[in-house]
Each structure stands twice: as C-alpha cells, then as structure tokens.
Amino acid sequence: PQGQSHVDPSVPPLKPYFDLNGTQDESSQLKEIIKKMGLQPHVEGGYFVETDRDQLRVPNPFVDEKTASSDPTRSASTSIFYLLTPKSPFGAFHRNKGRTVHTLHKGRGRYVLIHADEVAAPNCPGGYGDENLSESRRWNGKKARIETFIVGQNVLAGERLQWIVDGGKYKCSFLLPDEEGSSNSEGLLISETVVPGFEYTDHDFMKSERMDALVTKEQAEEMNWMLRK
C-alpha cells in the first residue's frame, strides 16, 4: 500500500537490498580489490581512498562566521574512489559544501537526494545557506524536493553513468543487485571529485530532527534507515 506521501510514486519503496548490519559477506574478489586499491572504511559507510588532492590552494568560498578565522583556503579539488559492497551496502545521508562530480566504474546503486537548499535565498553565498532562514520563511509550509535515481550501466533504462550533486544537497546511496531479481553484487565502484577539495569541516550528517523538518512524516519514516546510526 503506497500512499501519495511516498517519496515518488514511480519509484518502489526505498528499502535496502542488503543487510545493513553487514551480515552478508563480500566475495573474495571484492576483498582483494579493497586491499589492492587501499580502500578504507568510510564514516558514511562503504569504503574509500583519496586518489588526488590538488596542490593548488584557492580561496575558501564557504567563508562565513563559523570558518572565516580558521580556514581561508581550500585545495582546488580532491578525488576519491568510493565503493559499496554487500557487507557495507550504504552511505548514510550527509552533505558537503562542495559540488561533487560522480562517475560510475561498475555495479548498480540508488541515490537519494534531498534538496534542502532549494528555496534558500537566491543570492546566498556558497555553503549551506539555508540554515539562516527560519523554517517558516524557508519553506512556507512546503517540504523539500526529494530526487532519486539509479546509477548503473543500463543507459537505455535510464541508469546514470555520471551524476552531479551540488553543494548543500543531502545525499544517500545504497547498493542494488548487479541484476534485477538477483541478490548478488560485486560492488558499486565510483569516483567522486569535489570542488573545492574535501574537508571534514565542510561535511555533516543528516540528523533525524532535520529530516523531520525537511520531509513529510511518511517520507521520514521511509527514509529513517538511511540516517547514520
């Protein structure tokens, strides 16, 4: 029974395909790939390794009251490999201030974006921007737009090979089986390039109170498992 409050009527209910507690093991080949590539567990879930950090420093475009004193510059860009596996099958809802270009290498997954900054002040400088507005002014009773899409090789079925997530958008991803109907995955491997470069101070996780404020009660219930526990 999918009510109209469901995230998107054209999308199946957002449910994980792999056990979130990591009880499903990775294939020995995936384990070898993780080792060979030097991938480490990511705090969001999944595995990552930073593959590039531009030596060039650029002015920090996110300077505000909070960061101005400590952080005048950023790396011009950073890149990582990011991998989801049956053992670590999802990346919890979070946002970065920087814009991120994602490129698929292999596997399939679903992305869910919450456009929390959709109606932020049009002239707000880089950064989250939206927190300075009161809830009522920001949304006028409306809820944030939710977007979801599948990343994968099946371009003809609408799966994406490349996707861009602007700074300030909440993002979550979870592993899908390599083939529809199967329960196996040899992992979702992507590259991400962030501009300007990644810093933890530009990153934060979605909190359940924030989720409740951004989406309907039903949507929050449906997406609750995507929050970092």
Residue numbers at the binding site for ligand GUN (CB under 6 A): 42, 48, 50, 78, 80, 198
Q: How far is the CB of 200 from ligand GUN (least distance, A)?
A: 7
Q: How far is the CB of 76 from ligand GUN (least distance, A)?
A: 12
Nearest residue relative to ligand GUN (C-beta): 198
Q: How far is the CB of 222 from ligand GUN (least distance, A)?
A: 26
Select 48 or 128, whichever has its Cβ closest to ligand GUN.
Answer: 48
Supply 123's token pair. 């002239």
Q: 């809830």: which residue's tokens? A: 135
Q: How far is the CB of 77 from ligand GUN (least distance, A)?
A: 9
Spell out the long-range contacts of 152-155 with Cβ–Cβ below 8 A and sequence spacing 24 or more.
152/104, 152/107, 152/108, 152/109, 152/176, 153/104, 153/106, 153/108
Select 63 or 80, whichever has its Cβ closest to ligand GUN.
Answer: 80
- The residues with which 190 forms a beta bridge, in sequence order, are 82, 104
Select 46 or 127, whichever has its Cβ closest to ligand GUN.
Answer: 46
Supply 13's token pair. 């209910």
